[in-house]
Amino acid sequence: MNNSLVRDTKYLDEQYRIGDGTISDDAFKQLEKLFIPAHPEFDYFNQNKNRLLPKLAKENYKDFLGSLLTKTRLSIQPKIDGCAIAIRYINGKFNKAITKKGFDVTSKIKQIKNVPDCIPIKRDFQIRGELYATNQVAGISQRIARKYLNDKKRIGDSLSFCCFQILNGRLNQYETLNYLKKCGFNTPESYFTNLTSEIEIYKKNWLERKIFAKYPTDGIVIKINSRKLQLLRETSLSQNNEWQYAIENTIN
């Protein structure tokens, strides 16, 4: 990565942290050119490979934090309680949508109003997000989303899609969220920190509904920001092979 792009990325990151995640068209094109090589081995839409969408680790998050290098950059996002969905676009057009177990729900997801029919990406582009019920609490949101996917006649007007991952990309978390916004997707409210000691503060703020209150959440998700570190952990044979963890607690 050249020095100018490092400076640009750092600036964009600071803008994102203060609530301004918009990037210019030139920056968007630069990111598309440099950071989105295809990864066929992560193709969840190939039925012959029978790959399931990965689950979030939920135990021993403190051990996970303790395994990180000093000042590893982390993102903090809401753990939205709904149904996990992956969507594939080919040559900019909506191609297919599947559940976390690989079931085809293309016709149902096409009806969700905030899912783009077309995006400005002329390649195989695979993303992941959560289908959830707006203005609902955790538990009920998931039941509504599941019933919609399973009932051919049910209408999804009360449902929304929140996108947070490019499955076949090399962008880090910060760049991913900005890139997805530019493509027209709704993305989750997110925070970034280099201090693992701040995670408990974010957890407390979530429990007190100071953050992520607009979503039906049953926890928060902490993710390693660096895509390089994510991929290293995914292919690691050691016990420290997770790059994202869910921190759950019940809000009464």
Query: H or E element: which one contains 222?
Result: strand 217-224
pLDDT higher at 153 or 105: 105
Task: Tally Cβ neighbours within 10 Å of residue 122.
Answer: 12
Q: Give the distance, in angstroms, between the CA of residue 193 and the centroid of all CA atoms in the same chain.
A: 17
CA gap 137, 81 in Å, rounded: 8
pLDDT tens digits, residue range 98-119? 999 989 999 999 999 999 999 9
Residue at token pair 């293309």: 106
Q: Name the nearest CA neighbour of 39 among 163, 166, 164, 158.
A: 166
CA 52 to each of CA 19, 73, 75, 101: distance values in angstroms, whole numbers, following the listed order? 34, 27, 24, 5
Q: How far apart are the first and last CA of the chain?
A: 46
Query: H or E element: which one contains 247?
Result: strand 244-248
CA gap 66, 55 in Å, rounded: 21
CA gap 105, 102 in Å, rounded: 9
Residue 155: half-sphere exposure toward Cβ, Cα within 13 Å? 2
Q: Per residue, what are the HEC states of 98-166?
A: EECCCCECHHHHCCCCCCCCECCCCCEEEEEEEEEECCCCCCHHHHHHHHHHHCCCCCCCCEEEEEEEE
Q: Name the nearest CA neighbour of 57 among 247, 249, 251, 250.
A: 247
The token pair that represents 120 in the structure block: 């400005």
Task: Tally Cβ neighbours within 10 Å of residue 25.
Answer: 9
Average pLDDT (45-51) is 69
Q: Which of 49-63, 95-109, 118-132, 144-158 has the weakest average pLDDT? A: 49-63
Domains of the chain: 3-248 (3.30.470.30)
pLDDT tens digits, residue range 9-36? 444 444 444 444 445 666 556 555 544 5
User: What's the count of helices (H) and strands (E) in the chain, helices before strands?
Assistant: 8, 8
CA gap 184, 127 in Å, rounded: 12
Predicted confidence at residue 35, as pLDDT, reads 43
Q: Which of 31-45, 175-189, 193-207 has the weakest average pLDDT? A: 31-45
Residue at token pair 């979530």: 206
* Strand 124-133 to 217-224 pairing: unpaired
CA gap 138, 69 in Å, rounded: 33
pTM of the model: 0.83
